[in-house]
Amino acid sequence: MTFSLVLQAIFAGVTNGIVYALVGMGLSAIFKGSRVINAMQGEFAVIGAMTTVLLLSNAGWPYAAAIAAGALTGALLGAFIEVAFVRHMARKNASEDSFLLLTIGLALTLSASILYFVGRDGHLLPPLGGEGVLLVLDAVIQFHALWLIAIGIAATLLLRAFYHRTTLGLSMMAASIDADGAATTGIDVGRMRTYTFVLGGLLGALGGILVTPLVAVDYTLGLNLTLKGFAAAVLGGLTNPLGAAVGGITLGLVESLAIIGISSSYKDVVAFSVLIVIMILMPQGILGRAGRRGG
């Protein structure tokens, strides 16, 4: 095992970790705000990325506009799902498992719709910063991956600032911690839940758009991302979106270091064994209770 190989594994781990983190942050933002475990979080990523692909290659939009529209589509889809389904179920006091079934159903429906309307083919987006790579001690990282990491970190910091510094963010936190209490202070709890889904959709779509230059997006990508994002979110502490960022990067690094440290045949065995150990030692997630309070 050479140093450059370790460095290569770290590059890959952080890049993948940021993608897991973006999906996981959206998942935990939604869980925090609505107690819904969103099994279709990965579909937000696929819808966002597919919209960007179609606008860019079929409609000829400029790349930046297509990205913005893709992210917005994810946000709007989030709002639609809350308004069309979650709101009505919540009014009738649906249980957490009913919501889980709802989102699993939506995930399958959306994946099938993409297959029907867009087809089986995988689609790529042009990498940000061009096709070039940065060479560090014989290990390579694509310019796009650097952009992905930078944007991912920026999104994480913005999310933290949003929850702590803005009235809307604080209201959303209040509504999620104590809905009745928040309602008495004049916070529209239902609307906050809609915003939570908007935020989740936005983060998911952003993750999808950012990963598409590295991994071709097709109708099957969603489930894969949901699983990794869910692992990231649980690892970090499900009610803490910032924990998902820590969880995502941990997961990405453990996976890639397992490949060079032991064997690619045992990558998942090693990665998930490590996760199980972490969960036994830190059942509240890596950021733990302190993280939960801070959100």
Partner 1 sequence: MSLSSIAKLAGVAALVGLSAFAARAQTSGEPIKVGAIVSATGAGAGLGVPERNGLLLAEKDINAKGGINGRPIKIIVEDDASNPDTALSKANDLIFGQKVVALLGPSLTASTVAVGGVTSTNKIPQIAFTGIGPAVERQRKCVAHVLPPQRLNAQALLEYAKSIKATKIGVLHDAGYGNVVMAELKPLADKYGVKLVAVEKFEIGATDTTTQAAKVKAARPDAVFIIATSATPFRNVKQVQISQPIVAAIGSSSYEYVNAMGQAADNIVIPEFVVGEDPLPHQKEFVELYRKTYDGTPKNYEAAAWDAAHIIAAAIKKAGPDAGGEKLCEAMKAPYSGVLANYNFAADDMTGIPIGSFVFSKLVGGKYTRTPFRVAQ
Residues of this chain, 130-159, that bind partner 1 according to CB under 8 A: 131, 133, 139-140, 142
Q: Which residues of 100-137 are buried (b: 16+ CB within 10 A; e: fewer)?
A: eebbbebbeebbeebeeebeeeebebebbbeeebeeee
Binding test (CB under 8 A) with partner 1, winner from 2, 98, 109, 185: 2
57 binds partner 1 (CB under 8 A): no
Does 284 interact with partner 1 (rule: CB under 8 A)?
no
CA 166 to chain centroid, in Å, comes to 22
Does 268 engage in binding with partner 1 (CB under 8 A)?
yes
Quick one: tokens of 101?
């079934």
Options 205, 221, 244, 246; binder of partner 1; rule CB under 8 A: 221
Whole-angstrom Cα distance, residue 65 to residue 69? Answer: 6
Nearer of residues 239 and 256 to partner 1, judged by Cβ? 256
Cβ 124 to partner 1 shortest distance, Å: 5
226 binds partner 1 (CB under 8 A): no
Tell me the window of 75-83, 112-120, 171-179, 190-198 that interacts with partner 1 (CB under 8 A). 112-120
CA nearest neighbour of 242 among 168, 175, 158, 167: 158
According to CB under 8 A, which residues from 233 to 262 bind partner 1?
256, 259-260
Binding mask 163-202 for partner 1 (x = CB under 8 A): ----------------------------------------
Among 72, 146, 215, 286, binds partner 1 (CB under 8 A): 215
Residue 209's nearest CA partner among 59, 48, 87 is 48
What is the residue type of 228?
Answer: K
Report if residue 214 touches partner 1, rule: CB under 8 A: yes
Binding mask 114-133 for partner 1 (x = CB under 8 A): --xx-xxxxxx------x-x
One of 9, 198, 199, 249 touching partner 1 (CB under 8 A): 9
Shortest Å, Cβ 133 to partner 1: 7
Q: 68 vs 215, which CB is nearer to partner 1?
A: 215
User: C-alpha distances in angstroms, 271 versus 83, 229, 238, 250, 258?
Assistant: 38, 14, 19, 10, 7
Site for partner 1, rule CB under 8 A:
2, 4-5, 8-9, 11-13, 15-16, 116-117, 119-124, 131, 133, 139-140, 142, 211, 214-216, 218, 220-221, 224-225, 256, 259-260, 264-265, 267-268
